[in-house]
Amino acid sequence: MDVISIKGTDDTPSVTLDKDKGAFIFEGRSLPEDVGDFYQPILNWLDAYAQEPNDTTDVMFKLEYFNTASSKVILDILLKFEEINEAKGGVTIKWHYHEDEEDMKEAGEEYEDIVSEPFEYIVY
Amino acid sequence: MNKIVGSKDFLEFAYELYHTMQANEINLVYEGVVTQEITKTFTALTEKNMVKNEESNQVQRKVFNVMVECLQNISKHADAMTEDADEERRGIVLVSHGENFYNVITGNVIKKEKRDKLEKSLEHINSLDKEGLSALYKQQIKEGKLSEKGGAGLGFIDIAKKSGNKIEYQFKELTDDRFFFIVITTISRNN
């Protein structure tokens, strides 16, 4: 499978999606005005990955900040992982948040209420 | 209001503006088109100021967050004064701080027909406590669809959640079918 490796900017996160290495990473800031342009290739990649996922899929979210438009797309991403988890199992969302940032922890908990895959919280 | 014509008047105006800004601890004032570039520049500038003032990470993040949502609201939802589709979407942005708070103030033109819906939605958001806002946020994120302009319908809910204070707003009538919509968000410094 193709590897997605996007370097972060001041308004888009760095993203690594690598099936062979088992790396599924979203890190940094996400506040693009048009989230579609940035996230569509990522959602397409996840559709393809869902066809033949690894036995375990540990997804790392280490976001510093995201705007509300991104929050909607992040839910779409989590829903794709939920589908994979329902079909094959093995998905864990590892939600990282800075020790000073209760809001980011709460954002993770709100997603956890909506989707069914397991969440682990990691403070940094 | 009288227009400033001569250079002497302008100097007076600049001097008064300087004093007003100092007296009210205004960090940033802008009137003009709001684009993604402007949003990035202003949030970065405000962040830099807050770092210099040794503001806590949490407050920095909240101010940043509220600014992004307010500015993107303008760039997505502001209306022009006329029906000319090419006319620019402008707004005002003001950031000030006192001993105990930061204020993010924005203003932009909206069409009259948007007022009722906006007012109802803001009244509803202001009637909710923390749990209520979280429930509304989850409902909207699940059920809402991204609009053509990329809005998720979550902006004001998020602003209320992150600021922890009621959103102040006002509609000032400009013409028969245009209002100036002003939003004041307060972020407390000592949580």
pLDDT at position B183 over 60: yes
At B4 the pLDDT is 67
A22 vs B1, more confident = A22
pLDDT at position B3 over 80: no
**B57/A75 CB distance under 8 A:** no
Q: Per-residue pLDDT averaged across B3-10, rounded?
A: 74
Q: Which of B120, B136, B139 is nearest to B128 (CA)?
A: B136
Query: Please, which residues bridge with residue B32 across strands?
Result: B91
Residue of B nearest to A66 (CA): B65
> What's the pLDDT band for B109 if we cut at 50, 70, 90?
very high
**A65/B65 CB distance under 8 A:** yes
pLDDT at position B98 over 90: no
Domain B27-188, CATH homologous superfamily name and number: Histidine kinase-like ATPase, C-terminal domain (3.30.565.10)
Report long-range pairs for B158-161 (Cβ below 8 Å, ≥24 apart): B158/A68, B158/A71, B158/B65, B158/B69, B159/B65, B159/B66, B159/B69, B159/B70, B159/B185, B160/B125, B160/B126, B160/B128, B160/B133, B161/A103, B161/B130, B161/B133, B161/B134, B161/B137
pTM recorded for the entire structure: 0.90
At A64 the pLDDT is 92
Quick one: tokens of A108? 């993770």
Query: Given the DSSP bridges, would you call strands A14-18 and A4-6 parallel, antiparallel or unpaired?
Result: antiparallel
Query: Which among A11, A32, A110 has CB closest to B137?
Result: A110
At A19 the pLDDT is 96
- How close B66 comes to chain A (CA, Å)? 9
Residue of A nearest to B64 (CA): A65
pLDDT by 10s per residue, chain A, length 124: 899 999 999 999 999 999 999 999 999 999 987 898 999 999 999 999 999 999 999 999 999 999 999 999 999 999 999 999 999 999 999 999 999 888 999 999 999 999 999 999 999 9
At B80 the pLDDT is 85
